[in-house]
Structure 1
Amino acid sequence: MALLLCHSSKGGTGNTFVAAHLALALVEHGADVTLLSTAAMDSLPLHFGLPPSTRLPGFNAGADRAVVASGISLRNDPRAPADPDFAATLRDLGFLDNGDRVLVLDVAAGDLGLARALLPLARAHVCTLPAAPESLSLLPDYLDIERGCWSDHSVVAINMLDETRKLTRHTAAFLRELLGARLVGRVRRDEAVPEALASLQYLSRYAPASAALADVAALARAVAPMLERPTLAEQIVPGRSWIA
């Protein structure tokens, strides 16, 4: 199972939205997808038209407790950030076995330690950022080997991009210049996204012509080939650092 890690340097960036729609796009392309959130206050069900009272099973729950939406097995385990053996348990349970399956893991921004522990096991890491000054202020630390969460498998997606705002346009341009090919997509701000959540509907059903929907589909096309690459852990050789 290929691990796709979704983690941002700050909260409120739409990381769960991006993780959910990457999972949906991968299913449409034939992948067998499990989507796991580690957030204590989990909004994941809303992105699948499920009521907020929905309680998702833990990652080690049996098939009889599965919650499946659009072919995706939805799971939540808020104990993961405090579990030093979480990554090892994922492997032991077969979540990281080789094969055609994909595990999309939505890790809250505050759980940096967990994200760092999972980074060498991930085939791809998507960091979702808004085009805002706070994103720029946090990036140096996030890209730092000792303090952040960055590797040669890490890429950035700009979310909630409002190109009618001058500062937003300039910030996005700076991010493009700074990140180069690591900036793999942008998702435009679209009122249809919160409206779909409030209506307990899939975005694709509520607003099939949504700009954000088209953008996240393009992002998925950019990320999907990364899932074929070996993980950082598989590339480790003596004397070589596995973090770029």
Structure 2
Amino acid sequence: MALIVCHSPKGGTGTTFVAAHLAQGLVAQGAEVTVLTTATFDPLPLHFALPPATRLPSLLAPADQAVVVNGIDLRKMTRAEHEPDFAAMIGDLGFLEAGNERVMIVDVPSGQLGFARSLLEIAQLHLCTLTAAPECLSMIPRLIDGEDGVWGAQSMLVLNRLDETRRLSRHSAAFLRELAGSRLLGRVRLDEAVPEAGAMLQPLDRYAPTSAALTDLVQIAQAVGVRLEAEGVAFDTSAVDTSAVDTRQAAADVRQSAKQSRVA
């Protein structure tokens, strides 16, 4: 089992967006994923093409009340930060057992610093989503501070909404890459298809299968999968639907085959 904490000290950076697509990417690799949001107001259902008014069941609710989308169990527990035995609770539910393919992604609001910090003690990975905006970059010294920030040996950065057409954004991204080094897990390019898909209540991979942001999110999920497998989390690859072919890769294969035929 693996516990992944998605938390950023800055609200509005796309933490829930990244958490939702990480869940989808890990399921595609054979993981059994539960996403838990601890926010009172959270757009998690929207990122799974569910109506915003969708009420997610409690983490402790029985299976017949579950909201499951593409094999991902969506849960909510707004008082998790006030639960003194939260670790014991998820342990009793089987989420801390070693060696299996179960993954819990906990989407923690920016204001729940203490709760996020406590989860680092049992988490295999912490993803901190930032943007290239100056107000985000200025928070990095406090983020990695041992007393004020939420940062540990398992913490990684994700740079979201990177606008490569703007000089400030490019320079900020270069600064973050130099500063974070291997702690920068990946970047997600700014893509208008992301809010459009949400407005249409459609999954991003259906609304815009060639989306640049989607490509970046898939790569981030793959990088996370590699890290988890290195730590002994065994994904059930037999459960992966191999008939679902990546359209971008299929198109590339067709172009390469045609090119080889012309050369021959």
In the superposition, the TM-score normalised over structure 2's length comes to: 0.85
**Letter of the structure 1 residue corresponding to residue 120 of structure 2:** L
The equivalent residue for 1:238 is none
* Structure 2 counterpart SS, 1:4: strand
The equivalent residue for 1:162 is 163
Unaligned runs of 5+ in 2: 233-264
CA drift of 1:230 comes to 5.3
- Separation of aligned partners in 1, 2:231 and 2:9: 24
- Separation of aligned partners in 1, 2:205 and 2:178: 32
Unaligned runs of 5+ in 1: 232-244
CA drift of 1:228 comes to 3.6
The equivalent residue for 1:227 is 228
- Separation of aligned partners in 2, 1:10 and 1:83: 23
The equivalent residue for 1:4 is 4
CA contact (8 A) 2:131 2:162 kept: yes
The runs of at least 4 consecutive aligned structure 1 residues that moved more than 4 Å come to none
Does 1:74 find its partner at 2:74?
A: yes
- Separation of aligned partners in 2, 1:134 and 1:227: 31
- Separation of aligned partners in 1, 2:7 and 2:52: 22
- Separation of aligned partners in 1, 2:84 and 2:102: 24
Identity among equivalent pairs (%) = 60
| Superposed CA offset, 1:114-160 (max 9, x none) | 10010111111111000111112111111011221111111101000
CA drift of 1:91 comes to 1.6
Between 1:218-227 and 1:28-37, the stretch displaced more is 218-227
Aligned length: 231
**Letter of the structure 2 residue corresponding to residue 214 of structure 1:** T
| Superposed CA offset, 1:81-118 (max 9, x none) | 22222222112222222221111111111111110010
**Letter of the structure 1 residue corresponding to residue 228 of structure 2:** L
In the TM superposition, 1:169-188 aligns within 5 A as 169-188=170-189
In the TM superposition, 1:92-131 aligns within 5 A as 92-98=92-98, 99-131=100-132
CA contact (8 A) 2:158 2:184 kept: yes
